[in-house]
Chain A
Amino acid sequence: DQQVKQNSPSLSVQEGRISILNCDYTNSMFDYFLWYKKYPAEGPTFLISISSIKDKNEDGRFTVFLNKSAKHLSLHIVPSQPGDSAVYFCAALSGSGNTGKLIFGQGTTLQVKP
């Protein structure tokens, strides 16, 4: 049962253009979402997060949008740079109190072409 899904395994964009990575979830109880970036042979690096009480969070070139009614979130990267080429994971935070399990999607490989 895949509770967090990234349906696009890969995405290729031109340098300077916008990259849009999508993520869908099934559990309406999820209240916090995160995006991680992963380079080969390295661990995931936290990128940006959003609480379910918001519909948008922005940090420099990165913006995450949340549509709760559609159970959908997206990560926008503007402008895209070759150094952004990596695997991007969407994750939902499950649990309450002292529990904080991240449930990850399968990842989307982004390639930014110079």
Chain B
Amino acid sequence: EAGVAQSPRYKIIEKRQSVAFWCNPISGHATLYWYQQILGQGPKLLIQFQNNGVVDDSQLPKDRFSAERLKGVDSTLKIQPAKLEDSAVYLCASSLEARQPQHFGDGTRLSIL
């Protein structure tokens, strides 16, 4: 079974620029999550999708972050404009259904200069 795929693996941008991350979940997984992991901390949920609908985006900074999951499969997370404090690893995870163990991709490491 192929795991969660994410790209790019690394991204370096200057503050105020925009950036996008892509995630392809495990086939058949209805639930998709984006987490932000700042160095030295555990991952923090940004947004959860059930199929192509948003279930929880309460911790997504909506003035600069946006996410979509078209057709209930792939997902993209965008930051525009980026701030220095957005430097982190962005992890995508998927699960068969909500409240099932989540399986994570290897993440995108974002550095803001």
Residues of A whose CB lies within 8 Å of any CB of B are 4, 32, 34, 36, 41-46, 49, 89, 91, 93, 95, 97-107
A43 touches B106 (CB 8 A): yes
* A83 smallest CB distance to B (angstroms): 18
Among A43, A103, A105, find the residue whose CB has the most chain B CB atoms closer than 10 A: A43
Interface check B43, CB cutoff 8 A: yes
**Cα separation A97 to B56 with both chains bound (whole Å):** 12
The 23 listed contacts between A and B (C-beta, < 8 Å) are A32-B99, A43-B4, A43-B91, A43-B107, A44-B91, A44-B104, A45-B104, A89-B43, A95-B56, A98-B50, A99-B48, A100-B95, A100-B98, A100-B99, A100-B102, A101-B56, A102-B33, A102-B35, A103-B45, A104-B41, A105-B42, A106-B41, A107-B41
Of A36, A99, A105, which contacts B56 at CB under 8 A?
A: A99
In the complex, number of A-B residue pairs with CB atoms less than 8 Å apart: 64
B103 at the interface (CB under 8 A from A): yes
Known: A36-B104, A102-B45. 5 other contacts (CB 8 A): A89-B42, A89-B43, A93-B99, A100-B98, A104-B41
Question: Which B residues are closer than 8 A to A by beta carbons?
Answer: 4, 31, 33, 35, 40-45, 48, 50, 55-56, 91, 93, 95, 98-107
Residue of A nearest to B89 (CB): A43
Docked-complex contact A102 and B98, CB < 8 angstroms: no
